[in-house]
């Protein structure tokens, strides 16, 4: 097989990517005010939003439930996001040589950036890539984003998103030291405040373990029928002196690293990009060990169409991490008959079975409404006070 770098060009350990899960906002509406000339609304209140909401003092398009009412009045809105105990979402991203195929690496970094922008201050973010940037096929993983608060809302890409994009701008190369990468993030997340979650993004199988040994059935060049290596043997392309042990499928060590994270209270989500088909059984096992297995196989988040499916997969994962069905408002609404809940900009009638209820300062989603949020089918939840409650018809 030549130099060790030969196998890493095909060394596959792949995937990643995106987003918006459960924007939760309390909109306090008060005085009557007509729209400004461009059809948007401005706030007459400096309270509640803390100077950071999109309805502060600029002509920003109004949220649903704000604006003209049936009685001819207007709701004048102040956006007050509820950011309580944001979780840490930590990406472990495969940048092996195979990620250059079909621009997988470029798509992954852009989709992850969308996740960061979409969730904003609802989460903290960190990231490690594998292999790192040293001149070695199996270079140690490198943390490229220390755990940082998400960017402020409404301003586009901020310092955290830009830091991720800048640090991932280089071309992918090398092998897939997945186990080493996962082991490296355990002490980082173990020392971090708050609840942490790992999203492993890979496009194939892990390797780069110099202590490994394997028969041809677990040798990646044999598995992938590359470099003249047959999956039926008889030549084991991972056996020295002609082969390299680093090309063995590093399944036990990778599964052990995932299990250690889960044992520390850090669930691991597994996303597989195109190229993972031959390693589906292993990725299923990693998802089970990480405590995030889907109900049916594939138990990991399998992505076949990189653009749309990757974004959809990361949205579902982000929803599972950030979403909730119980929203404790900073202050109980003055009039509980003037509260509305919106899911993805559509009003949800007040219904104790499949809608919502309010008790003191807590709004709780019920039945199917709650399920949609927790499943990632709904990305945006808003609670708006000051307008008459919509009841079921």
DSSP assignment of 13-33, as one string? -B--------EEEEEEE-S--
Distance separating alpha carbons of residues 300 and 282, to the nearest angstrom: 10
Sole residue written with tokens 């609802």: 122
Q: What is the structure's pLDDT at 73?
A: 64
Name the strands in the sheet holding 142-149, side by side, starting at the edge strand that comes first in the sequence: 142-149, 124-130, 88-94, 196-202, 268-272, 301-302
Same domain, 198 and 345: no
Same domain, 57 and 172: no
Q: What angle do CA 221, 222, 227 make, to 5 degrees?
A: 50
Q: What is the structure's pLDDT at 380?
A: 66
Is residue 367 one of the residues assigned to a domain?
no
CB neighbours of residue 307 within 10 Å: 11
Q: What is the structure's pLDDT at 65?
A: 54
Same domain, 72 and 150: no
Same domain, 145 and 282: yes
DSSP H/E element including 340 = strand 339-343
pLDDT reading at 91 higher than 80: yes
CB neighbours of residue 84 within 10 Å: 11
Count structural domains, the chain: 2
pLDDT reading at 375 higher than 90: no
Q: What is the DSSP letter of 86?
A: P
Q: What is the structure's pLDDT at 379?
A: 59
Same domain, 49 and 101: no
Q: What is the rounded average pLDDT of the residues 157-182? A: 95
Strands 380-385 and 339-343: antiparallel
Q: What is the pLDDT of residues 253-288, one digit of tens each?
A: 999 999 999 999 999 999 999 988 899 999 999 999
Query: What is the SS3 assignment for 46?
Result: coil
Distance separating alpha carbons of residues 15 and 19, to the nearest angstrom: 15
Phi-psi sector, 182: left (phi>0), alpha (psi -120 to 50), beta: alpha
Is residue 238 one of the residues assigned to a domain?
no
C-alpha separations of 256 from 178, 179, 240, 286, 381 in Å: 11, 8, 26, 9, 37
Q: What is the rounded average pLDDT of the residues 177-188? A: 98
Strands 67-68 and 88-94: unpaired
- Range from 79-83, 164-168, 213-217 carrying the lowest mean pLDDT: 79-83
Same domain, 117 and 168: yes
Same domain, 98 and 183: yes
- Range from 43-57, 134-148, 253-267 carrying the lowest mean pLDDT: 43-57
Q: Are 176 and 77 in contact (CB under 8 A)?
A: no
Domain final residue pick, 269, 295, 322: 322
Q: What is the rounded average pLDDT of the residues 281-303? A: 96
Which distant-in-sequence residues (6+ apart) come within 8 Å of 27 by Cβ?
55, 63, 65, 66, 77, 78, 79, 80, 382, 383, 384, 385, 386
Is residue 377 one of the residues assigned to a domain?
no
pLDDT band at 9 (very low <50, low <70, confident <90, very high): very low
Q: What is the DSSP letter of 328?
A: E
Same domain, 330 and 312: no
Q: Which CATH number do you get for residue 140?
A: 3.40.50.410
Is residue 369 one of the residues assigned to a domain?
no
Is residue 372 one of the residues assigned to a domain?
no
Is residue 382 one of the residues assigned to a domain?
no
Is residue 193 one of the residues assigned to a domain?
yes
Same domain, 8 and 34: no
Q: How far apart are the first and last CA of the chain?
A: 71
Same domain, 313 and 329: no
Q: What is the 3-state secondary structure (H, E, C) of 94-157?
A: ECCHHHHHHHHHHHHHHHHHHHHHHHHHHCEEEEEEECCCCCCCCCCCEEEEEEEECCCCCCCC
Q: Are 96 and 79 in contact (CB under 8 A)?
A: no
CB neighbours of residue 259 within 10 Å: 18
Q: What is the structure's pLDDT at 335?
A: 83
Residue 127 sits in which domain range?
4-20+85-209+250-322
Is residue 374 one of the residues assigned to a domain?
no
Same domain, 196 and 329: no
Q: Say if pTM beats, i.e. exceeds, 0.95.
A: no
Here the tokens at position 336 are 């509980």
pLDDT reading at 2 higher than 60: no
pLDDT band at 230 (very low <50, low <70, confident <90, very high): confident
Same domain, 75 and 153: no
Distance separating alpha carbons of residues 78 and 25, to the nearest angstrom: 10
């Amino acid at each position: 097989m030549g130099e060790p770098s030969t196998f890493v060009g095909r060394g596959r350990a792949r995937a990643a990517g995106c987003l918006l899960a459960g924007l939760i906002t309390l909109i306090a509406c008060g005085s009557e005010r007509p729209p400004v000339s461009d059809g948007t609304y401005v706030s007459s209140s400096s309270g509640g939003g803390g100077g950071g909401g999109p309805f502060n003092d600029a002509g920003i398009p109004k949220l649903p439930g704000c604006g003209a009412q049936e009685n001819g009045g207007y709701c004048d809105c102040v956006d007050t996001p509820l950011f309580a105990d944001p979780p840490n979402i930590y990406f472990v991203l495969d940048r092996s040589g195979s990620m250059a195929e079909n621009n997988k690496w470029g798509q992954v970094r852009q989709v992850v950036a969308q996740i960061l922008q979409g969730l904003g201050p609802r989460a903290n973010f960190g990231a490690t890539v594998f292999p790192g940037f040293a001149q070695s096929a199996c270079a140690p993983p490198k943390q490229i984003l220390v755990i940082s608060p998400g960017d402020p809302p409404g301003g586009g890409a901020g310092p955290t998103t830009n830091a991720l994009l800048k640090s991932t701008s280089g071309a992918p190369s090398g092998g897939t030291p997945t186990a080493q990468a996962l082991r490296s993030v355990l002490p980082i997340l173990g020392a971090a405040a708050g609840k942490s979650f790992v999203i492993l993004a890979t496009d194939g199988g892990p390797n780069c373990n110099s202590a490994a040994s394997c028969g041809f059935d677990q040798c990646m060049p044999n598995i992938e029928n590359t470099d003249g290596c047959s999956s039926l043997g008889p030549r084991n392309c991972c056996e020295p002196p002609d082969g390299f042990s680093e090309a063995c499928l590093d399944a036990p060590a990778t599964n052990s690293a995932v299990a250690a994270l889960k044992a520390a209270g850090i669930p691991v989500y597994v996303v597989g990009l195109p190229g993972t088909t031959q390693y589906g059984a292993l990725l299923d096992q990693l998802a089970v060990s990480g405590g995030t297995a889907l109900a049916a196989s594939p138990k990991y988040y399998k992505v076949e169409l990189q653009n749309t499916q990757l974004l959809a997969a990361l949205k579902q994962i982000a929803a599972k991490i950030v979403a909730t069905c119980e929203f404790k408002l900073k202050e109980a609404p003055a009039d509980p008959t003037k509260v509305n809940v919106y899911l993805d900009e559509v009003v949800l009638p007040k219904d104790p079975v499949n809608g919502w209820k309010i008790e003191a300062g807590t709004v709780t989603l019920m039945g199917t409404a709650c399920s949609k949020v927790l499943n990632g089918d709904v990305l945006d939840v808003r609670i708006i006070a000051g307008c008459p409650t919509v009841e079921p018809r």
